[in-house]
Amino acid sequence: MGRRKKPKSRAEKKLPVVDKRPLYYINRPFGPNGLYGGMPADRGLVIRLRGAINDEKLVRIEYILPLLPGTETSECGKCGNEFKDMQCRDAHVKKRHTPARIRVRNIEDLSPQERQRMLSETLQYETEPPGFVGDGFLDQEERAEERMLEQIAPLNLEHTAASRK
Ligand SMILES: [Zn+2]
């Protein structure tokens, strides 16, 4: 084995050696519950392209970007997936592996202190105008995530087919 090996990132080591296809990462999730290859496509998730019809398009408009060789990725301790950096990994852990908030079915089940706390916290949240069907709290969270992504991972919409005319 006289062959000189260049150092590999952990993601490169972990994914099958025989697989020489380049690594990519999810730059922009495909909606709040979008999947890539059956896996929640969270921001920063390190992947190999699956050879799907729309792969080329996803890369062109930068939903998916090539991972720079040698990138020090971060592993999720819960599911073992690699992420492009620690921030993306932590956001994934928070989103996918942190127990959901306690769901209250009946306000009578709460102790007076809990009820008091809950009511005081509801004032922090924006409520839907009366007469409209509310999007609910989760959707507000999703919209906030969309706005954040628009800042940190804007799509390259100049590369859509329509704009290349
Ligand atoms: Zn995980």
Q: Is residue 111 domain-resident? A: yes
Q: How far is the CA of 52 from the centre of ligand 1 (A)?
A: 24
pLDDT score of 82 more than 70: yes
The tens digit of pLDDT for each residue in 92-143 reads 998 888 876 666 667 777 788 877 777 776 655 555 444 444 445 556 777 7
Q: How buried is 10 (Cβ within 10 angstroms: 0-12 exposed, 13-18 middle, 19+ buried)?
A: middle
Res 16: pLDDT = 57
Question: By residue range, what is the domain housing residue 64?
Answer: 19-98
Q: Is residue 9 domain-resident? A: no
Q: Is residue 11 domain-resident? A: no
Q: How far is the CA of 98 from the centre of ligand 1 (A)?
A: 10
Res 105: pLDDT = 66
Q: How far is the CA of 37 from the centre of ligand 1 (A)?
A: 15
Clarify whether residues 35 and 89 are in a common domain: yes
Res 25: pLDDT = 97
Answer whether 84's CB lies under 8 Å from 49's CB: no
Q: How far is the CA of 82 from the centre of ligand 1 (A)?
A: 8
In whole angstroms, what is the distance from residue 122 CA to residue 104 CA?
13
pTM over 0.85: no
Total domain count, the chain: 2
Backbone angles phi and psi of 64, in degrees to 5: -125, 135
Identify which of 56, 69, 64, 52 has the alpha carbon closest to the alpha carbon of residue 24: 64
Answer whether 65's CB lies under 8 Å from 25's CB: yes
Q: How far is the CA of 56 from the centre of ligand 1 (A)?
A: 26
Last residue of a domain, one of 60, 81, 98: 98
Q: Is residue 8 domain-resident? A: no
Q: Is residue 161 domain-resident? A: no
Res 144: pLDDT = 82
Alpha helices in the chain (DSSP H): 10-14, 55-60, 86-97, 112-122, 136-152
CA distances (Å), origin 109, targets 32, 81, 100, 136 = 31, 39, 18, 22
Q: How far is the CA of 128 from the centre of ligand 1 (A)?
A: 33
Res 135: pLDDT = 45
Clarify whether residues 68 and 124 are in a common domain: no
Last residue of a domain, one of 61, 83, 98: 98
Clarify whether residues 94 and 116 are in a common domain: no
The tens digit of pLDDT for each residue in 7-47 reads 667 776 666 556 677 899 999 998 777 888 888 899 999 99
Q: How far is the CA of 152 from the centre of ligand 1 (A)?
A: 21
Last residue of a domain, one of 98, 118, 133: 98
Q: What residues have their beta carbon closer than 5 A to ion ligand 1?
A: 76, 78-79
Q: Is residue 7 domain-resident? A: no
Clarify whether residues 58 and 77 are in a common domain: yes
Instruction: Classify 155 as helix, strand or coil.
Output: coil
Q: How far is the CA of 27 from the centre of ligand 1 (A)?
A: 17
